[in-house]
Amino acid sequence: MCGRFSITLPPDAMARLFEAVPANDLPDVPNYNVCPTNAVHVVTAVGGQRRLGAMRWGFIPHWYKKPNDGPLLINARAETIAEKPAFRAACRERRAVIVASGFYEWTRDGDARLPWYISRTDGAPLAFAAIWQTWSAKDDTDEMRTAAIVTTGANKSMSTIHHRMPVILEPDDIPLWLGEQGKGAATLMRAAPEDTLGWYRVDKTVNSNRAAGPALIEPLGDAPT
């Protein structure tokens, strides 16, 4: 599961990092509390060129008559993505990268939801494997590009926080995932190595999807793992 994340990398730095041409309508940065249905930064490869654009986080199947016509599909499970009617065409033809700085997960202590902030131990941005497609209403109004993050079973260390984790791509994985190096992208839908991520507790303020600001990712006393 990945249900909230942060992005602090400036768009021009994203464009350089992923060798992509940036669009003009990119979401504002920084955003320390990116929520489902927000616009997110997405890298695609179309016609031999990488593009950095904005998409709605929340994949909308083509048969939805309106965006809220069914479940909000923010994640796609790697184990079933190639079989699910909502995702299988996108998995073959429309793979992408969602750029993030870190993401949040929650554990429980009785009735309390305790948030953790998770990021790469090397300080690099996160490249989430994603899928996308364009959705529009029957009358061709409200056309929008939508995306979902691909998730897989957590590795051993991450499983202490949550049993699922996003599929995290390394730089050398990206050409294959984006379809620039032929077939075989399914081999990338696996848990990250044990030492890829670290995490620490943050304040429960982030439990609200209205919360904002850099204090959301400040450590809450606990030393990072």
Q: Active-site positions?
A: 2, 105
Instruction: Provide the 3-class DSSP secondary structure of residue 159.
Output: helix
Cα radius of gyration (the chain): 17
Phi, psi angle pair for 206, to nearest 5°: -70, -10
Closest CA to 2 of 77, 55, 69, 91: 77
Give the number of other CB atoms < 10 A from CB of residue 67: 16
Sequence-separated (6 or more) residues with CB below 8 Å from residue 26? 11, 41, 52, 53, 54
What residue spans of 118-201 are helical by DSSP H?
Answer: 174-177
Q: Fill in the amino acid letter for 50.
A: R
Dihedral angle sign, alpha carbons of residues 210, 214, 218, 224: positive
